[in-house]
């Protein structure tokens, strides 16, 4: 199904290029989360569970409205509530729907060592294919937003799919459809940027001077964007990354370390070859045999004599004490 | 390192060689092809209904197994908002979005139950028995307490000892009929869950 409706543009741990003739000429898709319209009802969380057939364990109250307290293999989106006292002394209740951002340059995909466990479609969706997942958790390290989670049930990584199965047949994601306040909107990325611009203009006229769109360029832009009242301080929204970048560890692991490791392996093989040519094998000569016999005879009496089938003790190739050699 | 005899060493290496050769020849199990999840509503039966919870009365679409052919037993497996409904235009609140678990809840009441006065437990009864009992008690109470005229001689035709609470998830037509039935009996204590 995927191969006809959603063309794969990138595939984890794969060096061969996927078919690349078809492109998303009519635009990529995006989800816009307007935090200024969100009332924190969690209909999106429920719709996500319902559509994706997920039922997380019933947890306990974590002291705030966040429920569940964090993302998990069975909870792909959670509302994060922040109480913020602004400089005027007023309380602002900042509510952010957290989940996969569907980065244009996905750190999870770059960090993933399992071929085909993470793919990126031409429409912008970054999807996990759990049948290929080995459960290593590198995607969590690679994610600048700390989104993927390893399920405790099957030890595979899960996250929001942007309802790729709905989008594949032309529908909007389940969370978008449910949202009763219209805080969640779905469409082409261009349309979402335009919608966000209108929202930002409106917010600025209402006194939110710093309102803006969150579409971080550090990860090539995202296919899940936020409208924030305080776009200059995204970290106010439960620690939303101000300038997200893929960890340099991922670059090191998937970039520089690969040729270095290859070079080290080649050098080892080459060194072995030259050692063989120049020095040759370790061979046991008469002197070694003699030394071994001597050592056997000189062995203390509490050492049981070796059985008839046991090989003779030869300590010469790695003789720890070469001075003993006769 | 355990002792490895020459024979064992040869066994292991030849088995490895044979295994890897077979894999390279294409006898290895093929990996699963990555694809998005199949769209689960493709040919499911879509039925319109109204959310039973609050007075907003959002429209919902219920998707059930099968195409309603004679031998297919329908069972609802997904519910989402009705985009054509003027009230919610496809959206739902968290309770409405969770309706599927309400339908399949193990504690859902699927038949009438009766608790006798003074009893500490409910007992299942048939719909016929339940409706008969309700009708009988209503008639009894109405016969005893119906007021046709006040002591001053004013015609009121009222029945004040029984009330009616109607559900919110009703169409205009159902609301009209409910109103007519209740008012024609003389009931004045008449309310609707839509007031919550």
pLDDT tens digits for range A307-318: 555 555 555 555
Residue A207 lies in a domain: yes
* Set of chain A residues whose Cβ sits within 8 Å of the Cβ of B100: 50
Residue A53 lies in a domain: yes
Length of chain A in terms of residues written: 326
Tell me: pLDDT of A38 over 90: yes
Tell me: pLDDT of A1 over 50: no
Quick check: B93 and A116 CB within 8 A? no
Chain A residue at shortest CA distance from B91: A178
pLDDT value, residue A227: 98
Q: Could you list the residue range(s) of the whole structural domain that residue A298 is in?
A: 286-324
pTM above 0.80, yes or no: no
Q: Are residues A213 and A292 in the same domain?
A: no
Quick check: A174 and B80 CB within 8 A? yes
Task: Please identify, among A246, A274, A301, the residue that sits at the C-terminal boundary of a domain.
Answer: A246
The structure tokens listed for B95 are 């309770």
> Is A68 in the B-facing interface, judged by CB distances under 8 Å?
no
Residue A278 lies in a domain: no
> Is B98 in the A-facing interface, judged by CB distances under 8 Å?
yes
* CA angle centred on A202, ends A198 and A204, rounded to 5°: 115
**Radius of gyration of chain A from Cα atoms?**
30
Q: Which of B40, B42, B91 sits opposite A178 (nearest CB)?
A: B91
Enter the CATH code of domain B45-103.
2.20.25.90
Q: Which of B36, B42, B94 sits opposite A41 (nearest CB)?
A: B94
CATH number for A114:
3.30.70.20
Domain boundaries defined on chain B: 45-103, 138-196
Q: Are residues A85 and A22 in the same domain?
A: yes
Higher model confidence: residue A144 or residue B29?
A144
Task: Please identify, among A246, A274, A307, the residue that sits at the C-terminal boundary of a domain.
Answer: A246
Quick check: B94 and A43 CB within 8 A? yes
Residue A150 lies in a domain: yes
pLDDT value, residue B33: 55
CA distance B18 to chain A (A): 25
Q: Which range has the worst mean pLDDT, A165-169, A300-304, A314-318, B176-180?
A: A314-318
Q: Is the ipTM of this complex over 0.90?
A: no
Question: Which letter, b or e, does each residue of A129-164 get, where b requires 16 or more Cβ atoms within 10 Å of its Cβ?
Answer: beebbeebebbbbbbbbebbbbbeeeebbbbbbbbb
Quick check: A166 and B91 CB within 8 A? no
Tell me: pLDDT of A319 over 70: no
Residue A314 lies in a domain: yes
> Is B100 in the A-facing interface, judged by CB distances under 8 Å?
yes
d(C-alpha A11, C-alpha A110), whole Å? 9
Chain B residue at shortest CA distance from A125: B36
Q: Are residues A50 and A113 in the same domain?
A: yes
Q: Are residues A295 and A227 in the same domain?
A: no
- What number is the average pLDDT over the span B122-150? 96
Number of domains within chain A: 2
Q: Are residues A309 and A179 in the same domain?
A: no
Model confidence band, residue A7 (pLDDT cutoffs 50, 70, 90): confident
Model confidence band, residue B167 (pLDDT cutoffs 50, 70, 90): confident
Q: Are residues A47 and A187 in the same domain?
A: yes
Residue A269 lies in a domain: no
- What number is the average pLDDT over the span A42-61? 96
Best probe of the A interface among B43, B87, B97, by most A CBs < 10 A, is B97
Higher model confidence: residue A323 or residue B69?
B69
Long-range contacts from A83-86, C-beta under 8 angstroms, 24+ separation? A84/A236
> Is B36 in the A-facing interface, judged by CB distances under 8 Å?
yes
Residue A36 lies in a domain: yes
């Amino acid at each position: 199904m995927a191969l006809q409706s959603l063309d794969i543009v990138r595939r984890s741990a794969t060096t061969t290029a996927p078919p690349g003739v078809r492109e998303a000429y009519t635009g990529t898709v995006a989800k816009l989360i307007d935090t200024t319209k969100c009332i924190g009802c969690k209909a999106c969380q429920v719709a996500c569970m319902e559509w994706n057939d997920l039922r997380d364990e019933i947890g306990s109250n974590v002291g705030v409205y966040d429920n569940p307290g964090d993302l998990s293999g069975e909870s792909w989106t959670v509302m994060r509530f922040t109480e913020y006292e602004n400089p005027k002394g007023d309380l602002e209740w900042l509510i952010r729907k957290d989940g996969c951002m569907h980065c244009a340059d996905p750190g999870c995909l770059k960090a993933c060592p399992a071929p085909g466990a993470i793919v990126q479609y031409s429409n912008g969706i970054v999807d996990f294919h759990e049948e290929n997942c080995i459960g290593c958790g590198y995607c969590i390290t690679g994610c600048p937003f700390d989104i993927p989670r390893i399920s405790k049930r099957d030890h595979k990584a899960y996250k929001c799919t942007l309802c790729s199965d709905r989008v594949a047949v032309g529908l909007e994601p389940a969370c978008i459809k449910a949202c009763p306040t219209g805080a969640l909107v779905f469409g082409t990325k261009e349309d979402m940027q335009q919608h966000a611009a209108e929202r930002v203009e409106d917010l600025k006229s209402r006194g939110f001077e710093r309102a803006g769109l969150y579409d971080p360029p550090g990860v090539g832009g995202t296919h899940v964007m936020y409208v924030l009242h305080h776009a200059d301080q995204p970290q106010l929204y439960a620690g939303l990354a101000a300038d997200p970048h893929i960890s340099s560890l991922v670059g090191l692991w998937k970039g520089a370390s690969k040729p270095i490791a290859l070079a080290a392996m080649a050098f080892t093989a080459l060194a072995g070859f030259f050692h063989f040519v120049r020095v040759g094998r370790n061979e046991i000569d008469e002197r070694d045999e003699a030394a071994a016999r001597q050592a056997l005879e000189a062995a203390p009496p509490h050492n049981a004599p070796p059985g008839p089938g046991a090989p003779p003790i030869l300590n010469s190739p790695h003789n720890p004490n070469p001075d003993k050699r006769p | 390192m355990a002792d490895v005899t020459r024979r064992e060493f040869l066994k292991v290496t030849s088995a490895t060689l044979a295994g890897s050769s077979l894999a390279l020849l294409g006898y290895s199990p093929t990996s699963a092809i990555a694809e998005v999840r199949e769209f689960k509503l493709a040919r499911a039966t879509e039925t319109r209904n109204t959310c039973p919870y609050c007075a907003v009365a959002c429209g919902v679409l219920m998707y059930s197994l099968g195409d309603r052919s004679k031998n297919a037993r329908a069972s609802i497996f997904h519910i989402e908002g009705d985009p054509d409904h003027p009230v919610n235009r496809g959206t739902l609140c968290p309770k409405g979005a969770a309706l599927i678990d309400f339908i399949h809840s193990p504690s859902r009441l699927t038949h009438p139950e009766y608790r006798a006065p003074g009893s500490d437990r409910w007992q299942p009864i048939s719909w016929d028995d339940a409706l008969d009992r309700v009708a009988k008690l209503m008639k009894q109470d109405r016969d005893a307490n119906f007021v046709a005229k006040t002591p001053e001689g004013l015609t009121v035709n009222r029945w004040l000892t029984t009330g009616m609470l109607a559900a919110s998830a009703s169409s205009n037509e159902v609301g009209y009929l409910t109103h007519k039935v209740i008012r024609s009996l003389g009931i004045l204590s008449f309310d609707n869950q839509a007031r919550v």
